[in-house]
Amino acid sequence: MNSAHTWVNPLRDATDIRLPRIAGPSGMVIFGVTGDLAYKKLLPAIYDLANRGLLPAGFTLVGFGRREWDKQQFGDYVKQAVRDGARTKFDHNVWTHLAEGIEFVTGNFDDSGFDTLAARLAELDAARGTGSNWAYYLSVPPDYFATICHQMQRVGMSHSAENSWRRVIIEKPFGHDQESARELNEIVNAVFPESAVFRIDHYLGKETVQNILALRFANQIFEPMWNANYIDHVQITMAEDIGLGGRAGYYDGIGAARDVIQNHLLQLLALVAMEEPSSFDPAALQAEKIKVLQSTKPAYPLNKSTARGQYSAGWQGSEYVKGLREEDGFDPESTTETYAACTLLVNSRRWAGVPFYLRTGKRLGRRVTEIALVFKHAPYQPFDDGQLESLGQNAVVIRVQPDEGVTMRFGSKVPGSTMEVRDVNMDFAYAEAFTEESPEAYERLILDALLDESSLFPTNAEVELSWAILDPIIEYWAGAGQPEEYPAGTWGPTSADKMLRRRGHSWRRP
Ligand code: BG6
């Protein structure tokens, strides 16, 4: 008989998170499968999951669209996407096995194509053992959500029979303001229960973003300082060096704030600012994020606490690149911003008076996403004049990408016979500390959706609250004329620098 010490609870063992989590019998239908996102991210991620052995044997991938493709032609398209975008090495056996379950159904979103699709899914259930478990990935603009959801309802695709499931995975943009997001939520929730809706925010699938939870709640050194007593301000930066070439159709009229602040940056803010959840159970985690989003408001007046810009032609490294207005497909009169910054306040005991500065832009100096918690100066510093001249403010910087890791910045004595203190960095780099490679965000999120693990998906309440934070800013900009220009390759408009200077701060140069 096992002693109390060696007895292993088989149930616990089966759910041990260190074991690979493998999806059960299931399939996925992708709407918008010929789009950019599917080509670059979704199809490669599905292959990577297959290659890592995390998909069930009969996994079936169905593309639905207008093209007159047969199985072979669609298979060739997927194979090319995998060849171009997969993270893991191409393995002929894995591909051959996956390709057996790749199908294409031709149809429009508003015709009898859905009857054909539903019938095909039923046949596939019988032939491939998918168990009537289907995830529907809507990689299409939100204008199509209503039609697709209604069609799925009409042909019975949304209905899960006993012991099977039907889920919908939705890409952003989820609305363009709070009201439209609410309408979309009503449309989707009229067909799928909230528990079957997985809204993608791919930043939550990034390892470094999940590490915010580990850093804060697995350690004792950070949390005691993680509040307004010690932290002066927080800077959340998502800078990109790419321009909008080719994406004008999507981006014109949307802009930087709707494109990434409403979702990615506010999710980062929520994870950094929230209270400790009682567990990482989806409901517990989401409840804490909701609380913090409810307490978050723009600082006023908006003309002083926000900034926006549009890139003009300039040197991006060694390349001279076009300005926004010269990009193909962009209206030269467009007021769409490619740079957005705002000052937000989190009205809670923990964060009272601490500005959270958020900024994002295209065609900036380099690609970098980071969260910097900048500390107040020590209340008393027993040094002489000049000794602290090279000392800035202490900081903890979560480097989301690239060069993933965490930096701590603090002052250290410069070697020598005088007392001079200068900023130094202490770095943790994922690439050096771990041999495991991080999965792509989409691998993680697609697997989670198949496993019904919803912690990393924002709820409808989070989406609507994020719009509520942003709506007054976007409304103010709508009446404020043209955004300021900034040359490509720089760090954005001068108004963004002024926004911080007013409060005695300055942006980090990441
Ligand atoms: C998307 C935005 O959500 O995120 C794009 O729509 C942006 O405009 C992209 O380029 C950046 O993602 P990542 O993972 O490369 O930082």
At 57-107, the pLDDT tens digits run 999 999 999 999 999 999 999 999 999 999 999 999 999 999 999 999 999
Q: What is the total residue count of the chain?
A: 510
Separation of alpha carbons 370 and 404, rounded Å: 9
φ, ψ for residue 102 (rounded to 5)?
-105, 125
Separation of alpha carbons 454 and 280, rounded Å: 10
Identify the pLDDT of residue 486. Answer: 98
- The domain boundary residue, chosen from 127, 153, 171: 171
Residue 259 Cα, ligand 1 centroid: separation in angstroms? 8
Cβ–ligand 1 distance for 244 under 6 Å, the answer: no
**334: helix, coil or strand?**
coil
Answer yes or no: is 421 within a domain.
yes
Peptide bond into 298 cis (omega under 30): no
Q: Name the residue with the closest Cα to ligand 1, atom 3.
A: 260
Question: Domain tally for the chain?
Answer: 2
Whether residue 308 sits in one domain with residue 396 = yes
The more confidently predicted of residues 250 and 381 is: 381
* 393, two tokens: 């403010």
Q: Tens of pLDDT along 308-347?
A: 999 999 999 899 999 998 888 888 888 999 999 999 999 9
Location of structure tokens 């000392």: 391
Cβ–ligand 1 distance for 241 under 6 Å, the answer: no
- Mutating to test ligand 1, I would choose from 264, 339, 463, 466 the residue with most ligand atoms within 8 A of its C-beta, which is 264
Q: Which atom of ligand 1 is nearest to the CA of 206?
A: 14
Whether residue 280 sits in one domain with residue 141 = no
Q: Tens of pLDDT along 388-428?
A: 999 999 999 999 999 899 999 999 999 999 999 999 999 99
Whether residue 247 sits in one domain with residue 329 = yes
Find the CATH number of the domain harbouring 91: 3.40.50.720
297 is in an annotated binding site: no
Q: Tens of pLDDT along 457-487?
A: 999 999 999 999 999 999 999 999 999 999 9
Catalogue the long-range contacts made by 15-20 (C-beta closer than 8 Å, 24 or more residues apart): 20/52, 20/53, 20/54
362 is in an annotated binding site: yes
Cβ–ligand 1 distance for 260 under 6 Å, the answer: yes
Q: If residue 237 lies in a helix (H) or strand (E), which one and from where to where?
A: strand 231-239
Answer yes or no: is 507 within a domain.
no
Question: Which string of b and e fits 442-471 if b means at least 16 CB within 10 Å?
Answer: bbbbbbbbbebebbbbbbbbbbbbbbbbbb
Answer yes or no: is 185 within a domain.
no
Sheet containing 27-31: which strands, arranged edge to edge? 102-106, 60-65, 27-31, 134-138, 166-170, 197-199
Identify the pLDDT of residue 166. Answer: 97
pTM: 0.93
Residue 265 Cα, ligand 1 centroid: separation in angstroms? 11
Other CB atoms closer than 10 Å to residue 340's CB: what's the count?
29
Q: Name the residue with the closest Cα to ligand 1, atom 7.
A: 260
Location of structure tokens 């090279």: 390
Average pLDDT over residues 176-205: 95
Answer yes or no: is 48 within a domain.
yes
233 is in an annotated binding site: no
- Name the residues annotated as catalytic: 264
497 is in an annotated binding site: no
- The domain boundary residue, chosen from 125, 148, 171: 171
Range of the domain at 489: 205-501
Cβ–ligand 1 distance for 169 under 6 Å, the answer: no
Other CB atoms closer than 10 Å to residue 8's CB: what's the count?
8
